[in-house]
C-alpha cells in the first residue's frame, strides 16, 4: 500500500501535465508554434552536418562518416525497394529517405536532449512530432505524393480505382483516402506524446535512474515510428502506382 500523499502527488502531477500549451510567435498576424520551429531548425542543422561530414571527402573505399552515411542511404533505399519494387523505387528514395530521417531526428531529439532544462515563457521544448500540426503536415504531404504518383503514371485514369472492382465501393474507396492521413498523423503523434508524458510523470515521482529503461524504450519506439511512417508512405505510393 502507498501512503495517501503518494496518490495526491501523482494526481497533481497528472493534472499539471499540460498538452497543447505553446510558445507562440506572432508573424504577420499568424500565431506560430515557436518551440516547434526551434527544435525543427536544430534537427535540420544536425542532418545537414551529418550529410556534409559524410560527403566532404568521398573515397572509393568508404570509411568514417562516409561509411556511416552510406549505410544510412542503403537502409532507406531498402525501405523504398521493398515496397515499390525494382521498377519504381529509385525515383522515390529521396522522398522516403527524407521522411524517415526527419521523423527519426525529431523523435530522437525529443528523447535524448534534456529540453526541460531550458525554460520558455510559455510551453516547453520537445520533439516536433509531439505536435499534431507537424504530424498532420507530414501525413498530408504523403497523401499529396501518392496522388501525384498515381496521376503522373495513369493520368485521370487513376480515379477509375474508386469504382473498382464494383461502383458500389465508391464511398468506401473515397473514405480510405481520408483515413490514411488520419491514421498516419495520429499514430505518430499519439506514440511520441504518450512516451514524453510517461517520462515526465515518472521522473517527477521517482529518481532519474528508475525511468531510464522507459527512456531507452522511448528511443527505440521513436526509431520504430519513423520506420513505420516511411514504410507506410512507400506502401501507399506503391499502391497508387500499381
What is the residue extent of each domain of the chain?
Answer: 25-241
Distance CA 70, CA 57 (A): 13
pLDDT band at 1 (very low <50, low <70, confident <90, very high): very low
| Cell numbers that stand for 227 in this block | 520506420
Distance CA 16, CA 147 (A): 42
What does the pLDDT average to over 44-59? 85
Distance CA 32, CA 30 (A): 6
Q: Quick one: residue 127, left, alpha or beta (phi over 0 = left, psi -120 to 50 = alpha)?
A: beta
- Using CA atoms, how far residue 158 sits from 31, 117, 146, 174, in Å, is 38, 51, 11, 13
Distance CA 100, CA 35 (A): 22
| Cell numbers that stand for 79 in this block | 525501405
- Angle, helices 132-154 vs 89-112, to 10°: value is 180
Distance CA 237, CA 142 (A): 8
User: Greater confidence, 118 or 131?
Assistant: 131
What does the pLDDT average to over 110-117? 73
- pLDDT per residue as tens digits for the range 62-101: 777 888 888 888 888 898 888 888 887 888 889 999 999 9
Residue 7, pLDDT above cutoff 50: no
pTM higher than the cut 0.85: no
Amino acid at each position: 500500500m502507498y501512503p495517501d500523499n503518494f496518490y495526491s502527488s501523482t494526481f497533481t502531477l497528472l493534472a499539471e501535465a499540460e498538452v497543447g500549451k505553446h510558445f507562440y510567435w506572432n508573424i504577420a498576424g499568424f500565431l506560430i508554434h515557436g518551440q516547434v520551429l526551434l527544435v525543427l531548425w536544430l534537427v535540420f542543422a544536425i542532418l545537414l552536418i551529418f550529410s556534409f561530414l559524410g560527403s566532404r571527402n568521398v573515397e572509393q573505399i568508404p570509411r568514417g562518416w562516409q561509411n556511416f552515411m552510406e549505410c544510412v542511404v542503403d537502409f532507406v533505399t531498402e525501405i523504398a525497394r521493398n515496397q515499390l519494387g525494382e521498377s519504381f523505387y529509385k525515383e522515390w528514395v529521396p522522398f522516403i529517405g527524407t521522411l524517415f530521417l526527419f521523423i527519426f531526428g525529431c523523435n530522437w531529439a525529443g528523447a535524448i536532449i534534456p529540453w526541460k532544462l531550458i525554460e520558455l515563457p510559455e510551453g516547453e521544448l520537445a520533439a516536433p512530432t509531439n505536435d499534431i500540426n507537424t504530424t498532420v503536415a507530414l501525413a498530408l504531404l504523403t497523401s499529396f505524393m501518392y496522388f501525384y504518383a498515381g496521376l503522373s503514371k495513369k493520368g485521370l485514369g487513376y480515379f477509375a480505382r474508386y469504382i473498382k472492382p464494383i461502383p458500389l465501393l465508391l464511398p468506401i474507396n473515397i473514405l480510405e483516402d481520408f483515413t490514411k492521413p488520419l491514421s498516419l498523423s495520429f499514430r505518430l503523434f499519439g506514440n511520441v506524446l504518450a512516451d514524453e508524458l510517461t517520462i515526465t510523470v515518472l521522473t517527477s515521482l521517482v529518481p532519474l535512474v528508475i525511468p531510464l529503461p522507459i527512456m531507452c524504450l522511448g528511443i527505440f519506439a521513436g526509431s520504430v515510428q519513423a520506420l513505420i511512417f516511411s514504410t507506410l508512405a512507400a506502401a501507399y505510393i506503391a499502391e497508387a502506382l500499381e
